[in-house]
């Protein structure tokens, strides 16, 4: 398979934004500072690099895209172009010496031409002092410069930075497209649809697959779901023995609740039509979810979905995770035995 370039990756993940920025550059309407906001893996780095490539490319194609082959493009992709300044966190933070380097570069003119571009990734990891020190360079750029600030969470960026940049929210990758990318990455068929609905990127999916956490969680939730559908009170016991141990952190607790939503959503979707296993979050229990879908009337299934969805609000209200799941299980058993 041909290796993906930043250009083809940006086109695959953010086609509308690629077209937008290529148009801005072609008509000389590119602003001097942007904040690209989007989760890891949905193309913010590829989009930023494609913008840089387009600004310096010596052989722009008829489609308005950089060629990716000329000397300038090759230097940028290799990371050794003097007028493309890129900074990523050194460890957990963007360090003081990295900020000093940035400030010194902001005061310099382009080395080889009249254009200079700065790409600062994971801006949320820059300290308040460091971010403030860059403000004046963003406000008063020297020469023909463009600053692309990249973040996974714009809510962690100083308001003063937000107010001085044009904010670009990257579009989430559609689940079907992400599922295809997961297939190319070698993710098991039984996990693709679930991961495509839990995450927005291959890298985030890989984090869940690590140490087989996801596989263990899938199996435990399948056991709990099957017991619920069989009106088996041991579903209540499985909360403590299988579900609670999955969620040592608040993030994992939220994730388990998301996974519960997906398994009941499988059942709800199967009430109107039989679905192929590739379109189910939990293909291993497809028969169980199909049976409960046919057994319960639609209003009862919707009531269960409402109960499951309400757990997120309960967790946000600092209710105990185990108590939330135990109460949910009892309410679901009551709906099924009704």
Instruction: Please report whether residue 281 resides in a domain.
Output: yes
pLDDT band at 251 (very low <50, low <70, confident <90, very high): confident
Q: What pLDDT is attached to residue 153?
A: 86
For residue 94, give the DSSP letter. B
Name the residue among 125, 137, 136, 138 with its Cα closest to residue 33: 138
* Same structural domain, 278 and 140: no
Q: Final residue of a domain: which of 123, 144, 169?
A: 169
Could you tell me if 18 and 142 lie in one domain?
Answer: yes
17 and 165 in a single domain? The answer is: yes
Indicate whether 280 belongs to any domain: yes
Domain limits at 128? 6-169
Final residue before a domain boundary, out of 130, 146, 169: 169
Q: Where are the alpha helices (DSSP H) in 15-112?
A: 15-26, 44-56, 71-78, 96-106
- Report the alpha-carbon distance of residue 266 to residue 290 in Å, rounded: 8
Q: Are residues 184 and 303 in the same domain?
A: yes
Residues 119, 257, single domain; the answer is: no
Domain with residue 83: its CATH number is: 3.40.50.300
Residue 200 and residue 157 share a domain: no
Same domain for 201 and 92, yes or no, is no
Q: Of 135, 169, 203, which residue is a domain's last? A: 169
- Given pLDDT bands bounded at 50, 70 and 90, which one contains residue 54? very high
Same domain, 45 and 131: yes
For 127-157, write each residue's pLDDT tens digit.
777 788 788 778 777 778 899 999 988 888 8
Report pLDDT digits (tens) over 66-78.
999 999 999 999 9
Shared domain check, 325 and 205: yes
Does the structure show a pLDDT above 70 at 310? yes
Are residue 237 and residue 314 in the same domain, yes or no? yes
DSSP label at residue 116: E
Among 144, 180, 146, CA closest to 36: 146
Q: Looking at the structure, tell me whether residues 184 and 312 fall in a common domain.
A: yes
Mean pLDDT of the chain: 89
Helical pair 213-229 and 189-198, crossing angle rounded to 10 deg: 90
User: Does residue 53 sit within a domain?
Assistant: yes
pLDDT at 139: 79
The total of structural domains in the chain comes to 2
% of the chain residues with pLDDT over 70:
99
When mean pLDDT is compared across 67-71, 124-128, 299-303, 318-322, the lowest value belongs to: 124-128
Same domain, 25 and 152: yes
**Across 106-127, average pLDDT:** 84
CA distances 172 to 38, 41, 87, 175, Å, are 8, 10, 24, 9
Helix, strand, coil % over all residues of the chain, rounded to 5:
60, 10, 30
Would the pLDDT of 3 be above 70? Answer: no
């Amino acid at each position: 398979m041909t290796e993906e370039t930043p250009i083809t990756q940006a086109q695959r993940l953010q086609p509308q934004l690629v077209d937008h920025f290529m148009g801005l550059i072609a008509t000389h309407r590119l602003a001097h500072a942007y904040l690209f906001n989007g989760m890891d893996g949905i193309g913010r780095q590829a989009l930023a690099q494609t913008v840089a490539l387009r600004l310096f490319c010596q052989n722009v194609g008829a489609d308005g895209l950089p060629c990716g082959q000329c000397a300038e493009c090759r230097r940028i992709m290799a990371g050794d172009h003097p007028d493309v300044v890129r900074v990523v966190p050194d460890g957990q933070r963007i360090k003081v010496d990295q900020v000093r380097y940035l400030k010194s570069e902001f005061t310099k003119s382009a080395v080889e031409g009249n254009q200079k571009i700065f790409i600062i990734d994971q801006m949320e990891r820059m300290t308040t002092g460091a971010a403030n020190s860059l403000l004046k360079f963003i406000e008063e750029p020297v020469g023909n410069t463009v600053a692309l600030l990249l973040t996974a969470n714009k809510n962690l960026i100083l308001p003063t930075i937000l107010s001085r940049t044009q904010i670009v929210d990257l579009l989430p990758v559609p689940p079907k497209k992400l599922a295809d990318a997961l297939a190319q990455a070698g993710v098991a068929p039984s996990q693709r649809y679930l991961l495509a609905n839990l995450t927005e990127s291959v890298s985030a999916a890989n984090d869940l697959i690590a140490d087989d956490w996801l596989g263990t969680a899938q199996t435990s939730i399948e056991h709990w779901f099957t017991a619920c559908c069989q009106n088996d009170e041991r579903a209540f016991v499985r909360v403590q023995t299988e579900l609670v141990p999955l969620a040592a952190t608040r993030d994992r607790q939220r994730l388990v609740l998301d996974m519960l939503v997906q398994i009941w959503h499988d059942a709800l979707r199967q009430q109107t039509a039989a679905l192929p296993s590739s379109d189910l979050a939990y293909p291993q229990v497809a028969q169980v979810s199909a049976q409960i879908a046919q057994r319960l009337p639609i209003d009862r299934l919707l009531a269960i979905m409402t109960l499951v969805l309400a757990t997120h609000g309960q967790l946000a209200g600092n209710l105990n995770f185990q108590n939330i799941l135990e109460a949910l299980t009892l309410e679901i058993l009551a709906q099924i035995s009704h």
